[in-house]
Structure 1
Amino acid sequence: MEIAENIRYGEARIRRKASVSLSAAVRLLLPSLSLIAVLAIHYLLPDKQPVLKSDIYAYAIEILLAVYLLWTGASFVFEGARAKLRYQAPITAFIILLIGAWELLTLKLDALPLPYFPSPVKITDALVNDREKLFICTLYSLRLLAIGYLIGAFFGVITGILMGWYKLFQYWVNPFLRFIGPVPATAWIPVVLLVFPSSFTASIFLIALGTWFPVSVMTWSGISSVNKSFFEVAKTLGATERYLVLRVALPAAFPLIFIGLFMGLGTSFVTLVVAEMLGVKAGLGFYITWAQGWAEYYKVYAALLIMAVLFSTIITVLFKVRDRVLIWQKGLIKW
């Protein structure tokens, strides 16, 4: 008798999990419905702006629609898929409708004039037809960003540790940090182009300089604010000065160091684009300047889209590293 009741209870629980209310079902269908509306705008309304071909854009929307339809079907069966889709469905549908409105105002109604406001169809064509050049420019930008950012972050952490640990070092370096640091890295462009032998090395220096200042300040602040009792306990256990710096002060300062790394990353993005626009012979910033010179603004928007995806991905990776390193904070602060 008790076994039968447990079985019925389990079946009822499964039915409750599998059942979806009407409002929840509509929410799950929002991305698919939005994609259908975008396809209707694309196919049913005539074009009023010239485009070479619109097949690639339509195929992309149709593939995305197929993915969301499959996801929606799976969400009616699997609780995990339903939870993820339910969370992102409203914002995803909103973004899709924005793209549809953009196509409506440009390609279909010609309310926004060319060449300054190209349609998403034209931007998609640029992403596909100019993919080789965009890929090479993206690699060049990644190389320049990685070298400059890593150099700036490394010397920023070293400077911050030395300033936070040694008062004499802080005494001599602090005035230069206050004088050089607040000046935007891009303001040094006329000087570094004269000092460095090439625009590439000059760009690396500018990115490193823009990263160095926030990382130095936040590392210095983190080392200086470590609880003194940590050092006293470590000293009573026989810790050396090297151990105190590397195993006590540095881990305790990690939260502020990561804040400095995020600030330096944002500065490095700005410096990278400006440096590439002015002197570097390859990269996304260079590509934007080149496309603007030919008034091909749809290529400018394509490069901006790649920048947004690339920089967002880099920030997400840094967040993952932060979460992994600071896993001990998860129960102490709100993430």
Structure 2
Amino acid sequence: MSDTGAETLVLSVKSRTREITARPSRTLAAWLAGPVWLAGAALTWLWADADDFPATTELAVFMAAIGLVLLVAAATRRLQARAPWAIALGAGLGVWEIVQAKLLLLPRPFFGTPQDLLDVFLTDWPKLGNSLLHSLSVLAVGYTVGSVLGIAVGIGLGRSARFRYWVHPVMRMLGPLPPVALLPLAFVLIPSSWVAGEALMVLAALFPVAVLTWSGIAAVDPALHDVARTMGAGERFLVFRVALPAAMPQIFVGLFMGLVGSFAMLVVAEMLGVKAGLGFYLQWAQGWAAYPNMYAALLVMSVMCTGLLTLLFLLRDKVLVWQKDRLKW
């Protein structure tokens, strides 16, 4: 047996040994997650609150339901990898319940209880839902327009020397400028706060997408263009069948950066100008010292942003099958 084969065999045996050794601990953690949540439910139900908090019963029922679901998942062996996180979340929620709901160790109203947060979702979900839909609609328009324009500008920069001569200096002057710095000017020049917010989100997405598209097109091997021209390809074919497919990995990096920038600009625009959306809801909650509502809006915003980024990465893996899982999120 060669040295390489021997090393491969040794590594395989070590990996298998670690996997077998880890199984008992993973199995134990999987069976421990459910009881941790059930213990939290019992604690919430049996230990009297330090004040008259809403939704204590609902919280206990919710935690008990999660505990039962985790037990079923452990029995069907679907909780092996996520068991430590399930334990940590259940234990963290239980500690939060003891510290604030049972002992009131942190100053109110700045620090609420798990009951307060659950009560917001139970009672104020119509306003939260409408805010979420408004933010999604605003983000969809600004990000989509900015991304399409960014790809178009990137193609122009990569394929046309004349276009690059006139547009590149403008990009270097305005591109690195944070769009939030243009917020006062945008609200003066554009009467509609909605249009102003959309314009700034377009700028937030346009610059990274344009730069990364240009970089991707510039990095395409010139031999590919030469071969295509030899076979009679025109400029349209070179752009859409050669340059863009080869630049797709870079373009998706730009789309990722543009989406993150659009998120930031969305929240600022809604907090300072647009009279709706999650940013506006956050500002309203802070103004009325409704801190549980503020934390609920932050949680919804986090889920929205994470979900959209995950969808973007799923689309990337679908388009760039040969590079699947190379860019992590």
Would you say same fold, with TM above 0.5?
A: yes
| Matching residue of 2:69 | 67
Q: Distance in 2 between matches of 1:251 and 1:327?
A: 12
- Do the aligned residues in 1 keep the contact of 2:27 with 2:80 (CA within 8 Å)? no
CA distance in 2, matches of 1:178, 1:136: 38
Q: Is 1:203 aligned with 2:205?
A: no
> Which residues in structure 2 correspond to 1:1-335 (within 5 Å)?
22-75=24-77, 81=78, 85-330=79-324, 333=326
Determine if contact 2:74/2:80 at 8 Å carries over to the other structure.
Answer: no
How far apart in 2 are the matches of 1:61 and 1:219?
Answer: 47
CA distance in 2, matches of 1:306, 1:87: 25
Q: CA deviation at 1:22?
A: 4.4
Cα distance in 1 for partners of 2:223, 2:324 equals 23
**1:23 Cα offset (Å):** 3.1
Stretches of structure 1 lacking an aligned partner (at least 5 in a row): 1-19, 76-80
Once structures 1 and 2 are overlaid, which stretch shifts more, 54-63 or 192-201?
54-63
| Contact 1:29–1:72 (8 Å) recurs in 2 | yes
**What is the alpha-carbon root mean square deviation over aligned residues?**
1.7
State the AA in 2 paired with 1:201.
V
| Distance (whole Å) between structure 1 residues aligned to residue 300 and residue 312 of structure 2 | 18
Q: Distance in 2 between matches of 1:329 and 1:23?
A: 34
1:204-239 Cα offsets, whole Å, 9 max, x none, are 011111111111111111111111111111112211
- Count matched residues: 307
Amino acid at match of 2:251: I
Asked if structure 2 preserves the Cα contact closer than 8 Å seen for 1:274 and 1:285, the reply is: yes
Structure 1 142/330 Cα, relative in aligned 2: closer, same or farther at 3 Å?
Answer: closer
Distance 1:61 1:69 in 2: 12
Cα distance change, pair 21–278 in 1 and its aligned pair in 2 (3 A) = closer
Q: How many Å apart are 1:89 and its aligned residue?
A: 1.1
Given residue 249 of structure 1, which amino acid in structure 2 is its aligned partner? A
- The superposition leaves residues 44-95 of structure 1 with CA deviations (integer Å, 9 ceiling, x where unpaired) of 43322431232222222122112111111112xxxxx3xxx21111122212
Q: Which amino acid aligns with 1:58?
A: A
Q: Is the Cα contact below 8 Å between 1:54 and 1:125 reproduced in 2?
A: no
Q: Structure 1, residues 100-145: CA drift from partner, whole Å, max 9, x if none?
A: 2222221122121111111121001001100111111111111100
Deviation at residue 312 of structure 1 after TM alignment:
0.6
Partner of 1:5: none
**Counterpart for residue 7 of structure 1:** none
- Alpha-carbon separation, structure 1, partners of 2:168 and 2:99: 54
Change (3 A) 1:193 1:21: closer
Question: Within 2, Cα distance between the matches of 1:327 and 1:21?
Answer: 32
Corresponding residue SS for 1:48: coil
Letter in 2 for 1:164: G
Shift of 1:330: 3.6
Percent same amino acid among aligned pairs?
A: 43
Q: CA deviation at 1:193?
A: 0.4
The CA deviation at 1:176 is: 0.9
- 1:334 deviates by 7.2
Contact 1:30/1:90 (8 A) holds in 2: no
TM-score (norm 1): 0.88
Q: Secondary structure of the equivalent of 2:82? A: helix
Deviation by residue 1:288-315 (Cα, 9 ceiling, x = unmatched): 1111111110000011110111111111
Distance in 1, Cα, partners of 2:189 & 2:242:
40
8 A contact 2:278–2:297 mirrored in 1? yes
Q: Structure 2 length normalisation: TM-score? A: 0.89
